[in-house]
Amino acid sequence: MACQGLSKGETVSSLRAESENLKAKLEEERSKLHDVELHQVAEKVEALGQFVMKTRRTLKGHGNKVLCMDWCRDKRRIVSSSQDGKVIVWDAYTTNKEHAVTMPCTWVMACAYAPSGCAIACGGLDNKCSVYPLSLDKNENLSAKKKSVAMHTNYLSSCSFTNSDMQLLTSSGDGTCALWDVESGQLLQSFHGHSADVLSLNLAPSETGNTFVSGGCDKKANVWDMRSGQNIQSFETHESDINCVRYYPSGDAFATGSDDATCRLYDLRADREVAIYSKESIIFGASSVDFSLSGRLLFAGYNDYTINVWDVLKGTRVAILFGHENRVSTVRVSPDGTAFCSGSWDNTLRRWAGYSFRFVYCCIWTL
Amino acid sequence: MIITQIHQLDMAKGRRQVSQMSEFPLFSGSFNRWPKMSTNNNIAQARKLVEQLRIEAGIERIKVSKAAADLMSYCEQHARSDALLVGVPTSENPFKDKKPCILL
């Protein structure tokens, strides 16, 4: 097969040279606008006081490592999935199990609640993402109504419904992300650009439009346009796999947690990394991150069994939470921001709540 | 037939152990790093990379000081409604423990 349409004078080496030039130009453009650090600008912000955060409920019932969890929009229910193939829907108030599904595969690495609260999606080593409608009848066998939606050529690492129950976004070990129509199972858009497994994805908060961010084993975090499939922005400053990506509540930035033991904040409009959350004493990878409602706090779960709470603006750690007896695999703040839930390889989930004392004091004083 | 995947990454990671321990048939030939490709693909890849970089280089950017100020003002505006920051009045907290409350 003849070489496909090389333009005049274009060779592989000239293209490579041009890409090097463009990379240098990109760095230059980004540096020009790097006039100050985030924590410097945040010096005038009131420091957070002492944190008091405790486990309020422990959810026991999984027979093996909890790998993923998601909150329902009703702020009360959660779905969690584990290594043994079980997917459980819990009531976080009462700790009762409302539904349980046994998947035909082990290592169910991804699970998500539908916006309506009427269905869940999950998948893992079966390379698929399946949707299970939840029925009010507890005795009904959910597996009977199972619908296979997504098909990848490697494990499913993460899934998320878009703003409706009708579309599902997935990421996979095959290096791609994909958008699917739930009803027909049709592939609507695929996203190519990662050069290794994609481990996590997160949809932008709805006000900011149709974009999402993904992170993977190629150490890159990519921002995508959902309609065109185009990779809009790419960030590569981590030194190891990016395990989790999560948008800042305003949609203007996102945080990542990585195996290099750091979490980083990237601002989309400044097009660069603006903060690193790390300490010399933290040497284990961060598996999962999530923001509090205002974006001031970043909760990060680590492989050393702890959860660190970071002050997003100042870049300092404000609390370490102990409790889990094995790696923390997933951390998610509830939709109303009143609590957050963590899942771990110790087979349990914990719901945490609490606040900063000093901040309460300051608020009362100014009223 | 179970085909074990070859991984070049750290074996201690749970995720990498996954494929080796799997009982489910894996027919994928994909690897964590793409295998070497033919010259034609090299050209196509290089061209794609150049196009991608052109797009990225051409986007509009703002100064970090402005971006930081916006992040800070968002935090400030929403701080009062962030229960993990300021707490929730015990009367409204559905998860409260049944204990007498201590006034600060």
Contact criterion met (CB below 8 Å) for A242 and A228 = no
**Least confident range of A232-241, A275-284, A326-335, B37-46:** B37-46
A22 to chain B: closest CA residue:
B53
Q: How far apart are CA B75 and CA B69, in angstroms?
A: 10
* Higher pLDDT pick, A187 / B56: A187
The complex scores an ipTM of 0.86
A359 to chain B: closest CA residue:
B86
Determine the average pLDDT of the residues in A283-292.
96
Average pLDDT score over chain A: 90
User: What homologous superfamily does CATH list for A53-354?
Assistant: YVTN repeat-like/Quinoprotein amine dehydrogenase (2.130.10.10)
Query: A269, A271, A279: which is closest to A236 by C-alpha?
Result: A271
Query: A170, A124, A127, A130: which is closest to A149 by C-alpha?
Result: A130
pLDDT of residue A163: 85
* Higher pLDDT pick, B21 / A278: A278
Is residue B77 within a helix (H) or strand (E), and if so which, with residue range? Answer: helix B64-78
The answer to whether B19 contacts A174, with C-beta atoms less than 8 Å apart, is no
Q: Which two tokens stand for residue A1?
A: 């097969």
Per-residue pLDDT band for A3 (boundaries 50, 70, 90) equals very low
Give yes or no for B55 touching A (CB within 8 A).
yes
Condensed to tens digits (0 to 9), the pLDDT of residues A105-142 reads 999 999 999 999 999 999 999 999 999 999 877 667 77
Query: A115, A122, A113: which is closest to A91 by C-alpha?
Result: A113
Determine the average pLDDT of the residues in A269-294.
95
The answer to whether A295 contacts B42, with C-beta atoms less than 8 Å apart, is no
pLDDT of residue B92: 57
CA-based max dimension of chain A: 77
Q: How far apart are CA B85 and CA A51, in angstroms?
A: 9
- Residue A194 predicted with pLDDT over 60: yes
> Strands A77-82 and A86-91: what pairing?
antiparallel
pLDDT of residue A93: 83
Chain A / chain B CB contacts < 8 angstroms: 231
- What Rg, from alpha-carbon coordinates, does chain B have? 26
pLDDT of residue A357: 60
Condensed to tens digits (0 to 9), the pLDDT of residues A204-257 reads 997 556 999 999 999 999 999 999 999 999 999 999 999 999 999 999 999 999
Selecting from A3, A42, A297 the residue whose C-beta is nearest the C-beta of B85 gives A297
Q: Could you read off the pLDDT tens digit of each residue along chain B, which spans 104 residues? A: 333 333 333 333 444 444 434 433 333 333 444 544 466 778 888 888 888 888 888 888 999 999 999 999 999 999 988 888 887 665 555 555 555 556 66
Q: Which residues of A touch B95 (CB under 8 A)?
A: 56-57, 93, 338-339, 351, 353
The answer to whether B64 contacts A267, with C-beta atoms less than 8 Å apart, is yes
A289 in helix, strand or coil?
A: strand
The answer to whether A250 contacts B70, with C-beta atoms less than 8 Å apart, is yes
The proportion of chain A whose per-residue pLDDT surpasses 90, expressed as a percent, equals 72
Instruction: Count CB neighbours of A273 within 10 A.
Output: 20
**Least confident range of A6-20, A60-74, A186-200:** A6-20
Contact criterion met (CB below 8 Å) for A329 and A301 = yes
Cβ neighbours for A285, distance < 8 A, ≥ 6 positions apart = A240, A241, A243, A257, A258, A259, A260, A261, A302, A303
The answer to whether A359 contacts B85, with C-beta atoms less than 8 Å apart, is yes
Selecting from A23, A105, A297 the residue whose C-beta is nearest the C-beta of B84 gives A297
Q: How far apart are CA A197 and CA B30, in angstroms?
A: 10
Type of residue numbered A343: G
pLDDT of residue A16: 86
Contact criterion met (CB below 8 Å) for A71 and A59 = no
Enumerate the β-bridge partners of residue A87.
Answer: A81, A101
- Residue A44 predicted with pLDDT over 70: yes
Residue A261 backbone zone (phi > 0: left; psi -120 to 50: alpha; other: beta): left
Burial readout B59-80 (b: 16 or more C-beta within 10 A, e: otherwise): eebeebbbbbebbbebbeebbe
> Strands A231-235 and A198-203: what pairing?
unpaired
- Residue A354 predicted with pLDDT over 90: no
